[in-house]
Amino acid sequence: MTFLGYKGYLNPRNQKLDSIHAGVSMAIREHNGLRSVKLSRMVYPQPDVLTPSRKDVLIMTPWLAPIIWEGTFNMDILNEQFRLQNATIGLTVFSVKAYMIFLKQFLKSAEMYFMVGHRVNYYVFTDKPEYVPHLNVRNGRQIIILKIQSYARWQDISMHRMEMLSTFSRQRFQREVDYLVCADVDMRLSDHVGVEVLSSLFGTLHVGYYGLNRADFPYERRPQSQAHIPEDEGDFYYIGALFGGSVSEVARLTEACHRAIMVDQANHIEAIWHDESHLNKYFLYHKPSKVLSPEYLWYQQQMNYVKDQNSTSPKVIKRKRFKVLRKNYRLRDW
């Protein structure tokens, strides 16, 4: 038996790292002079086609993208599938100016909970490379520092993030990783975040607007802006602090958002929530192939707000995976 086209052997970038998971997913044996491949055996309960994994929440979008909640996936199966892909994941984070104070806690928590058992490149975009903490990371992981320009306003830094991600995706990331997870730095992981989030393109539901009518979403409503979404359109409100996908799809998303931001600037207009507004516009017309539930990014202030509006909503959140460290998510003071 011969595997033709198996990525781990045909992709030169992955060949040097094959030893990390060698023997985990398959074993090659010889019998009577013939080579055979034996895959690992997995034992788990048979899926029940008559019983949904969760009955209290929406687990599938109208365009058939899964919404990821605790209890909707088998982590062992997913880990095995991504090991067969020989995948490497990039985690990008922007740590500039005063936000450098969050970086060490972010990286330490990622080492505990992010993509455990898989190869990871931490890409730290910063204007202060000398202040990036020196951490001992797991085998198969590395911290890569990328020096960038700073700007006077956090809004400008946030919007230029799209430009930087687009540029580096095409110039570098496509040669080094298979997937990108783009996160804000002022957060820490408090629970497992693994390959269940990965797909060609994913976004994350904003906990502050979960369960609300789309007319109440803080979309950009001015028609003059490239981020404009009419009140009778919209699926969900996605948070800009956590999104990602394959390198090629993240490059398309960030390039489109950057171009739209540049058009707005030329017309002397700034979207209400900056790059997050443009992200929501992009996801409206380029549907994500996977949607992360509010379990993946939460903060207590908005949890309290949701509880006041709908006392049943917080009960659907079984795990709290990324936690925002700022007391007020909407205030960004240097």
Q: Which residues are catalytic?
A: 276
Dist. CA 137–CA 290, nearest whole Å: 29
- Of 128, 143, 239, nearest in space to 182 by CA: 239
217 assigned binding-site residue: no
96 assigned binding-site residue: yes
185 assigned binding-site residue: yes
Dist. CA 232–CA 283, nearest whole Å: 16
95 assigned binding-site residue: yes
Query: Which helix (H) or strand (E) segment is 163 a member of?
Result: helix 154-168
311 assigned binding-site residue: no
206 assigned binding-site residue: yes
- What is the distance in angstroms between the CA of the first residue and the CA of the last residue of the chain? 60
Residue pair 203/293 in contact (Cβ under 8 Å)? The answer is no
285 assigned binding-site residue: no
197 assigned binding-site residue: no
99 assigned binding-site residue: yes
The torsion of the CA quartet 277, 281, 282, 283, rounded to 10 degrees, works out to 100
DSSP E strand boundaries for the chain: 26-31, 34-39, 67-68, 88-95, 119-126, 141-147, 179-183, 187-189, 201-204, 242-246, 290-292, 322-324
Residue pair 96/185 in contact (Cβ under 8 Å)? The answer is no
State the binding site for Mn(2+).
184, 186
Q: Residues comprising the binding site for UDP-N-acetyl-alpha-D-galactosamine?
A: 94-96, 99, 184-186
Binding residues: 94-96, 99, 184-186, 206, 276
